[in-house]
Amino acid sequence: MWVRYLGFVILFGLPGALHAQPCGAPGLDGGYFVPLQETYSHEIEIIYACDSGRKPAVEGWWATSTCQNGVWSPEPQCIGEEDCLPPEIPNAKFNKKQNSWYNEGNTIRVTCDNGYELKNRDATAVCLNGTWTSVPVCEISNNTCGEPPQIPHAVIIGQKYQASFAADSKVRYKCEDGYSVEGAESKKSIFCISGSWSELPKCSSGSSAGGTAGGHPTSTESGTQPGGGGSSTTSVSNDRNSKPAFIPVNECGVSPVIPNGVVVQTERMYLKYECNSYYTRVGPDTVVCTNDGRWSELPSCKEAFCVLDLAQYSGIGIRQTGKEYIKEGETKNVYCSYYDYVIFTCTQGRVTYTRCCEAYYHNYGGC
């Protein structure tokens, strides 16, 4: 009798094992797996490979999948050898497919995270014969600032710690109790401008703000140090060392004119530029006025499009003539018959194109 009760206690203590669902054999089109069974218990693993001309939808020529409560994870799938898996691009985002792979000829366009920029302005990659062409790289921007400087008697509020900040970022300091900046204010904001932080605040106590601390002078025009001994650097030198790196933009005169670019944001301490459609920016997007009254490095706007002369493609069935413009990284469909069309792609200023096919073959990689 006690053995029966003991068995009940053991089963009662393992509710997950009782309720986990088994898996049926996966439907693997174009491949095979082992072990071959009708059903598989929870957490059983299979190993699969694909037939000639196909490959798993994960890295490698063989792969595994595990039964997780009635579902295979990841789902075993075989794709064409000419298809591509998603690339690994740190500090970047790009258009993800609903399935986990890309057909040959698909193009991805990369956008870097805040604080990063595309190396050589290369934003696109094309899937060709199972590999990606020139995968973009996101590197830290020259306009990115490091961590905000530490200031005595102050903390940064409303912002978790991070080692880098994108251009135009704002952080706010708060002085500790009994200290203030700019009179009675206890908070002060600074901005990341062209890779440098704007003028830093200084937290001073109420007594020292008036020039004394415990009856002793903090400084005098003659350079007296606390306690009355020795001499310090002159006030002229102090003024020079404390001069801010940047001054308001209205002190630099007329805003610079950038061909094919426009000012999209005007602030007290900086101007922000964007390029017109079909152009891409080279250099910083933010321009400041340095303390000597000059503008910082200016951006330029270079062409980011391809000119498609349709008359050159009559040999593949194109009957249209004239010129079309395709933005960098984008595509254009041009019909070569009533149902069929050619896909033209602009990549790094160069036009590539597919064969003349109907939509089905374009969508499933057969063109």
pLDDT score recorded for residue 184: 63
Q: Are residues 68 and 113 in the same domain?
A: no
Q: Classify the phi-psi angles of 45: left when phi > 0, otherwise alpha if psi is within -120 to 50, otherwise beta.
A: beta
Task: Encode pLDDT of 200-239 as tens digits.
Answer: 888 988 644 433 333 333 333 333 333 333 333 333 334 4
Number of domains in the chain: 4
pLDDT score recorded for residue 155: 93
Q: Are residues 254 and 291 in the same domain?
A: yes
Task: Encode pLDDT of 147-196 as tens digits.
Answer: 898 889 999 998 888 888 888 888 999 999 988 887 667 678 888 887 88
pLDDT score recorded for residue 9: 38
Average pLDDT over the chain, rounded to an integer: 81
The share of the chain scoring above pLDDT 90, in percent, equals: 28
Q: Phi first, then psi: what are they for 316, rounded to 5°? A: -110, 20
Tokens describing residue 180: 């203030």
Return d(Cα 126, Cα 94) in angstroms, integer: 12
Q: Pick from 253, 243, 261, 264: which is nearest to 295 by CA?
A: 253
pLDDT score recorded for residue 63: 93
pLDDT reading at 72 higher than 90: yes
CATH code (residue 114): 2.10.70
Any domain includes 223: no
Instruction: Read off the DSSP letter of residue 153.
Output: T
Return d(Cα 1, Cα 40) in angstroms, integer: 34
SS3 235: helix
Residues 6+ apart with CB under 8 A from 340: 317, 356, 357, 358
CATH code (residue 279): 2.10.70.10
SS3 180: strand
Contact 275, 283 (CB under 8 A): no
pLDDT reading at 241 higher than 60: no
Any domain includes 38: yes
pLDDT score recorded for residue 208: 42
pLDDT band at 121 (very low <50, low <70, confident <90, very high): confident
Any domain includes 256: yes
Residues 6+ apart with CB under 8 A from 170: 189, 190, 191, 192
| pTM for the structure as a whole | 0.44
Between residues 205 and 53, which one has the greater pLDDT? 53
Q: Are residues 25 and 75 in the same domain?
A: yes
Structural domain including 65 reads 21-79
